[in-house]
Amino acid sequence: MGSIAEPWGISESENANGTPKGLSRELRHGKTAHNMSSSSLRKKSDLRLIQKVPCKSLKNVLSNLQEVILGTKLAVLFLAIPLAVIADYYHYGRPLIFGLSLTGLTPLAERVSFLTGQLAFYTGPTVGGLLNATCGNATELIIAILALANNKVAVVKYSLLGSILSNLLLVLGSSLFCGGIANIRREQRFDRKQADVNFFLLLMGLLCHLLPLLLKYAATGEASASLINKMSLSLSRTSSIVMLIAYIAYLIFQLWTHRQLFEAQEDDEDDTYNDEVTVEENPVIGFWSGFAWLAGMTLVIALLSEYVVATIEDASDSWGLSVSFISIILLPIVGNAAEHAGAIIFAFKNKLDISLGVALGSATQISLFVVPLSVIVAWIMGIKMDLNFNILETSCLALAIIITAFTLQDGTSHYMKGLVLMLCYVIIAACFFVDQIPQPKGTGLGMQPKNSVGGGFVSA
């Protein structure tokens, strides 16, 4: 845009990454499903009034504010951010701080996806894909690290498990249901190849969760609880390293060798899509502006995540809800609402490949990247976090993966499949809503003191 001054310009015959304009559509096909999902919530900016500002520097600042802050349909939710800061400063009710912080995270997560898409115009689709893979679940990762810093291992495990369940059952289920209702007289089809790859990886992640759990039941009576926990911890750390290696291989597979399986496909003849969803062929902000905004929003996410972690127990006591229910159900629903809405919008437009890319891609990223990285970070911090999510939580994860795999096995969809997935999510939510059983010692689901392998857990 002419109103954005950057250290380098963009010639009329080239895009931001130096590629001729004639290839811009091919580059756009290289966008990830998360970027395409974010574009569905973009609001086209009207910069005519800003163009009349005489001061060039002020014009650039206002243009960036218009595109980044007001360029989303969720802009009104940004008001929750200063309100959360004010509520914390004046020591208002901690449940109120928790609710405001959770609400403020919703537009931030969507804007991070938008900014990584903007930076991809300058870095190219491959580096942009890597950036999106790193920042795609920044909220979950930041919350996990801050919770570990506060020795809240249970919150880490619950929130990451909830994100996987939410993507597999709620996001995918609501997408298939809404898409089936909107296209009830036409068959919805999708490419199974992408889904197959994700399910292979999800099943491998499930194996890494099952083995530490089964060690407890396979041990004989002669084995002490401390020995079993030590074995589980060692196995979990080894498995986490393997999972991270698998995730790196997945990125190579997705971004280099078989990227055609993961491209967000578009139909030229679909005028409804082109009219209602904004997909830019050129960037709307400059590289350094985008980088600065991305860094700033990451810091704000860290601040709100700190509020969430610090006030979650108070919200649990005040609302009469268990920490497990808030972490597994409420955190993922509210924190990823923007991404979820984007997936549903594309399902309405019969773009199931994009919806599947959002739901399955996010679940795979959390399972193979965020979870094992949390274990490694906890190891570095001297906190004993393993991959044993306890039998109830692991069973829910296993059944969610199996049910979703069966749902997508034939490459077609209708609203009944989505309805079943959503109802499964409701059943799991009801299970954790009524679950008031304190976690037994040695499960790792609790606030675990540093440098402690065995007992000494405080139940969540």
Token duo for residue 121: 């115009």
Identify the pLDDT of residue 241.
97
Check if the beta carbon of residue 274 is closer than 8 Å to that of residue 267: no
State the DSSP H helix or E strand holding residue 413, giving kind and residue range, or none if neither. Answer: strand 412-413
Identify the pLDDT of residue 45.
60
Residue 1 in domain:
no
Identify the pLDDT of residue 347.
87
Residue 322 in domain:
yes
Question: What is the C-alpha to C-alpha distance for residues 355 and 332, in angstroms, rounded to an integer?
Answer: 17
Residue 15 in domain:
no
71: domain CATH number? 1.20.1420.30
Residue 455 in domain:
no
Question: What is the C-alpha to C-alpha distance for residues 270 and 349, in angstroms, rounded to an integer?
Answer: 9
The residue range of the domain holding 148 is 31-42+53-260+286-432
Identify the pLDDT of residue 280.
52
Q: How many domains does the chain have?
A: 1
pLDDT by residue, tens only, the chain of 460 residues: 444 434 333 333 344 444 434 333 433 444 555 555 555 566 666 566 666 666 767 767 777 788 888 888 888 889 999 999 999 999 899 999 999 999 999 888 888 888 887 887 787 666 766 677 677 778 888 999 999 999 999 999 999 999 999 999 999 999 999 999 988 888 788 888 888 899 999 999 999 999 999 988 877 666 678 888 899 999 999 999 999 999 999 988 888 887 776 665 554 444 444 444 445 567 788 888 888 998 999 999 999 999 999 999 999 999 988 889 999 999 888 877 777 888 888 888 888 888 888 889 889 999 999 999 999 999 999 999 999 999 999 999 999 999 999 999 888 888 999 999 999 999 999 999 998 766 544 444 443 444 333 333 333 3
Residue 324 in domain:
yes
Residue 269 in domain:
no
Give this prediction's pTM.
Answer: 0.81
Residue 449 in domain:
no
Token duo for residue 99: 């609710």
Residue 271 in domain:
no
What DSSP line would sit under 260-302, residue for residue?
Answer: GGT-----TT-HHHHHHS---SS-SS-HHHHHHHHHHHHHHHH
Residue 446 Cα distances to 107, 191, 241, 443, angstroms:
30, 41, 23, 8
